[in-house]
Structure 1
């Protein structure tokens, strides 16, 4: 029994990861992602692609995001624990793309404009993935893209894109630890 309790405690102490559950219309989830997927013209596909970025990050300062729950712009306060996910639609020629993207946690913010995307690559980007520099324009959303929250954890995305494609970052809260649940189970087991 001691081994089971120790294994459960170890599992509970490991950081939980948030993630993309699915991308409709043939979308592709990469794990791990190709190193160049963040760069224009390197991840060209006629479907939406996605990958997880930084996980369980405690924001040291407030972070401005678009909140689809309002809808509108707001700031996530310092101390918020977030996980980041990047979505890419970069067709070879001008094309439209549609997808419903499901996450395992509620969506608390979206970053989709060029400058905020660039400014958050270092904070929220995945180590080992190359991202565009500040000299690349129009890799966020322009006027033809739209996102609609259709459930607390599901976004509907539509884009008309060509080079350099469209990218956006979705933030979800970090998953809660299982430790309180396992601790309660072990406590009840001990009382018997």
Structure 2
């Protein structure tokens, strides 16, 4: 794994990843357009979960290209990339299980969201997250769960409406797992750190 780090820090690759994430983020916000039009303004920041996660990572990549670390943004990025990357994969596979069909767009969402989670983890050794950064990211993430499943602002998968309680329960524990994974790879004593 250590042999991969020079490639991950290679500036042309960082630029390529930045462009891909900007395009993916823009598409993600476009995907939420209809739901955002019907969302009360107080909840707007908490509705487009996946594009906001990739937007955090866009800022992480910009900081890396400037030779800097923005630990709070890194914490927000890794926790939300893991959480919403895995969440969207599971939701789309659940759509497949319920309907028997996913279509090319669904499989594209599976692949792109899986890549979100992977990129968040791959760059973990380059982050400089402290416990208070992770605490702030945890509050954001768990607060988002409350907004989604108490105020019903979650991403809309209408074929899954019958399973909202189970999805909310799964999402809460996925948040906890993402926070723990971030602690394990970035914050715990002895976690590996590499310079860009």
Higher relative contact order (CA 8 A, sep 6+): 1
Q: TM-score, normalised by structure 1?
A: 0.24
Which has the larger share of helix? 2
- Specify the structure having the higher radius of gyration (Cα): 1
Q: TM-score, normalised by structure 2?
A: 0.24
Which has the larger share of strand? 1
